[in-house]
Structure formats: C-alpha cells, structure tokens
Chain A
C-alpha cells in the first residue's frame, strides 16, 4: 500500500468551478498534512497545511481533514487557468522526520 495516495488525473474543470483534490494516507500516527502546488518545470510551493480534523480556509483554498478515514482534501473555489498545475499531498510517515509525498494530481482549468 502506498503511504500517500492521490489520483494522478488529469482533473479538468471549467473556469469558475470548484476543483476537488483528494488524498489518502496510511500512517494513522500522522498529525500534519500539507498541500503543495508545482507548476511544470518549477519546484513545489506550499499552499496549505492542516493539523486538526475539519476544514481550514485560506482565500479560495479549503483543506479538509478526516483522521478517522485517513483522508485529506483540497478544494479550490472559483478556479482560474493560473491554478493549472500538479497538486502534491504530503504527510509524515514513520515519524515526523519523514515527509512523504503523493504522486500528485494534475489539474487543468479551462476557460
């Protein structure tokens, strides 16, 4: 079983729609979860992190965490073409030292 699993996509949404990106993780001891955005040819940049069950909102982005289901998601409201990128989910595994990344979901927002 992969430690952090994401659907590779591509996820295609029209401009202005809500994009929903999902991630599951295997280590029940994980306490912190991160979403990174990576444009083609660039390095990953942090979008959000979440530690507690429930929702965390930052502008157009909402992270949702459900530790019982080992599930974390990222919602992007009012999607823009500039949001087109690969979104990486990350969680610690085997200790807080070891941040493991999923393979990423490619999001395409079309005008």
Chain B
C-alpha cells in the first residue's frame, strides 16, 4: 500500500448529487488535511485534523463537509456543488501539524 491513498481518482457529478471522497494513510501520522488545487491557482488549504479533531476550517463553504473517524481515515462529503468547485482535491498527512506533508494522488472532480 502506498503512503496516502485517495479514492476515487476521478469523479464527475451533477450539481444535485451527493458524493464522498475518501483518503487513507498508512504512515502512522496524526494529522490529515484536505487541499484544493484549481487551474492557475495555488493549493488552497481546506481542513486540518489532528488526532481526528478538526483544528482548521479555512472558511470552506458548507457544501463541503469533512469527516475524520480516526487518525488514518479522512472523508470529504460533497453536496449541491457548483461548477467552480471542479478541481483536484488532495489529501495529505503529516506526523503532526508543522511536519512535512505527504500527499495522496488526488481526486480529479468535475461538477457538471
């Protein structure tokens, strides 16, 4: 198993759909993150979890709902998204906040 695994790799959804992105890390890390990467824009931090407690919500719209049941798993629940939410969603983990991040391969999301 690679260090940080994300599924699905690609997702196409309509604006009225509900879907979830999944992330799993096998590195024994304590912190997990969601980042959004849009074309021509920097990586945007969305959420930070440390020991499965949310420690950062970077003013993310409520149509994105994170869930962290344990230190190894992180979900991003999506509902009523907009076309401008189409982007690459990257999950990352680190030993603790402030340590180097290890990224998953990302989920390429397209909202139609």
Q: CB distance B43 to A96 under 8 Å?
A: no
A32 to B35, CA, bound (A): 19
**Does B42 interact with chain A (Cβ within 8 Å)?**
yes
A69 in contact (CB, < 8 A): no
Query: A97 near B106 (CB under 8 angstroms)?
Result: no
Cα of A103 to Cα of B40 in the assembled complex, Å? 8
Q: List A26-79 residues whose CB lies under 8 Å from chain B.
A: 31-32, 34, 36, 42-46, 49
The closest CB in chain A to the CB of B96 belongs to A96
Which residue of the partner chain, among B42, B97, B100, contacts A46 with CB atoms under 8 Å? B100
Tell me the complex Cα distance, A32–B99, Å.
9
Closest chain A residue to B88, Cβ basis? A43
Q: Which residue of A32, A36, A88, A101 has the most chain B CB atoms within 10 A of its CB atom?
A: A101
Residue B102 interfacial (CB < 8 Å): yes
The stretch of B12-20, B50-58, B66-74, B79-87 that contacts the partner chain: B50-58
B56 contacts A46, C-beta separation under 8 Å: no
In the complex, which residues of chain A have a beta carbon less than 8 angstroms from the beta carbon of B102? 46
A36, A43, A96: residue with the most chain B Cβ atoms closer than 10 Å: A43
| Contact A101 B98, CB 8 Å, known A43-B105, A45-B103 | no
List B residues at the A interface (Cβ < 8 Å). 33, 35, 41-43, 45, 48, 50, 55-56, 58, 90, 97-98, 100-106
What are 17 sample pairs from A and B whose C-beta atoms fall under 8 A apart?
A: A32-B98, A43-B90, A46-B100, A46-B101, A88-B42, A88-B43, A90-B101, A92-B98, A96-B97, A97-B48, A98-B56, A98-B58, A99-B33, A100-B45, A101-B35, A102-B42, A103-B42
Q: A36-B101, A100-B42, A101-B35 are in contact. List 6 more A-B contacts (CB 8 A).
A: A31-B98, A34-B100, A44-B43, A49-B100, A97-B50, A98-B56
